[in-house]
Structure 1
Amino acid sequence: MSIAKEKSLSSRILDPIMAGIGYMLPCVVAGGILIGVGFMLDDPTIDFNNYGHNTKLADFFTTTGSAIFHFMLPVLCAFIARYHGKDAAIPGGLAAGYLASIGKSGFLGALILGFFVGYLIVLLKRIFDKLPDSLSGTKDLLIIPLVSVLCTGAVTVFFVEPTVGILNAQLTDLLNSLSGSGNVLLGVITGGMESVDMGGPVNKTAYLFATGALSNGVYTIMSAVLAGGIVPPFVTAFASVIFKNKFTPDERKQGYTNFIVGLAGITEGAIPFLVRSPLPVIGSCVVGSGLAGGLSMYLGCSIRAPFGGVFVAPLNSNFGGWMLSVAAGITVGTILLGLSKKAERQVIA
């Protein structure tokens, strides 16, 4: 009986997330690769502040990729919400996901808000179910979508974003305090932060800190962050191929996709693995990313490109050193994930 309840609770949490991720990943993969190609084709010597948009061809790839990539969190949130709230949950889910994407909460915020919107729609349907049949069309097309969007917007703006904002401020202060304490330690921390929540507030804080350093003429931090961000998709890809018995068939399929996702440095490719096995995946990837970031700093690697993964690696001041750093992080992370993750049990009907 307890096992059945545990499975029911697990499915109520995991199934909506996996449904949302299934719709989100095409946006991540297509958008990320196009952005990476845009940076690869551009010439940063024309105008570094406009990198990715200096030539017409580069601008086409970067702009198109960015447009698709920015749908990632709205799509994730909307389809998590739709799992419980059906089609009526899509407007609120899109609004919440968009607010999370332009705000500070990122992936984690979209995840939480997706469940909030879904259950909010279920509640609203029960509340407005007593309305007369003559108002059923108004209820479905106007009242429920409008109320859900207003409630979701209020929760996002007044509760979720401020809470995450406090966390971001504390993390930024920590990174600023470490700036003068040693480059290697800063590289380990910023690189490892990339894998803590795979696109959430911790990941965003490290990236924004590195972006701010770029504007101040410090390029080593971005190199460490990009090295850390490229590790998770490759760790999950290699681990799913080498340690096959520890991954589901769906995870093994996603693993092959992550070889491509990793080339563009899309950390979010590891999210499907994180959802099913959070502690082994986060732990192994944080160690691997921290190692990659620390080695990148130690070897004096620097880069001006703010995104692009392997596609922009040739622009690194120490291309060989950066690739070595990434390879070391991937190797250690893969071994740790293979050792720490439990083997998948076959379900017998």
Structure 2
Amino acid sequence: MRTKVAIIGAGPAGLLLGQLLHGYGIDNVILERQTGDYVLSRIRAGLLEEGTVALLDKVGAGARAHREGLVHHGLELAFGGSRHRIDLHGPTGKSVMIYGQTEVTLDLMNARKAAGLHSIYRAGDVTPHDFDTDHPRVTYVKDGVTHEIACDFIAGCDGFHGVSRASIKPEAIKTYERVYPFGWLGILSETPPVSPELIYVNHERGFALCTMRSMRRSRYYVQCPLDDDIEQWPDKRFWDELKSRLDERARDSLVTGPSIEKSIAPLRSFVAEPMRFGRMFLAGDASHIVPPTGAKGLNLAASDVHYLSSGLREYYDEKSSAGIDAYSAKALARVWKAVRFSWWMTSMLHKFPDQGEFGQRIQEAELDYLVSSKAASTSLVENYVGLPF
């Protein structure tokens, strides 16, 4: 098989890249080691920046998000027993949209199917080859038969544990990482949200987050030890712990119910540099991970593929390599700003093992400064709604 771009990974990054390239007339094939149903079963975050929504619109996959997504013009910070609203729209003219990543993936899958584009699911032993030459290729096994795709470029959109980054020689790549000493215990429930906007909670017992997937389905998180087991957290214990961290008004408004999904997620900050290796590019979680506190993971993947698709369009349409040559530096400049913001939000809102009473009071002072200073809150808002592509 021959194509221009072989995309490894059928998550949001790979699917969005495939649709953007198709719109530019650039042939591409997507390889995914899991089934489509498995990809759609993964529960992920769901806050979209306007730039991400615009890209979905550009590839014809944004209609359902506009119908069903919840547009938010603010968020709330809770600390010291009180809640404080931060206006997102006033300082920036922008908003964010609550729309699940699973729904984004489904919309992109449907758009790709409608366009008749080639996706290969259950592709085993996917391996990129010769990406440091002018003739890269990707091999994979399907139904016991080995196949090869010859291509001009490879896009590694296969996540943190994928084969793309693992195929790079260690001396050619540098990684930066911070693993946080706690996790997020999250549940999904068929209950109305406790508030029409997200509530980020700083509490002496630990962080909590109240969010939603719709006006009938809620997503809640509490900070927990990394070594906790999900079996230690029956629903009643979770709801009791969440209530203990909420302000009185939220506690009285909270509607509880059986969980339909429950998991514990570790938190880390991770960046791999560069994001280009000859004729292979990394995008999304294959290159960087951020803690979900800043809601940047999916949105960074979208900006990566925006830069990459634009560079590839320039390569084929204008016979110029300037765009792909600048891809890594341009993408990483935005990545590191998002990594900084996500680290800052995480540091300000979570309880760390060594922070003590002094650290708690410092966090509360910073939060008080945020809600009382226009300059400080504007800085938060500019980053939260998304820096320009």
Instruction: Please confirm whether the aligned pair reaches a TM-score higher than 0.5, indicating the same fold.
Output: no
Q: Which has the higher contact order (CA 8 A, sep 6+)?
A: 2
TM-score bin (small chain): under 0.3
- Structure number having the greater strand percentage: 2
- Structure number having the greater helix percentage: 1
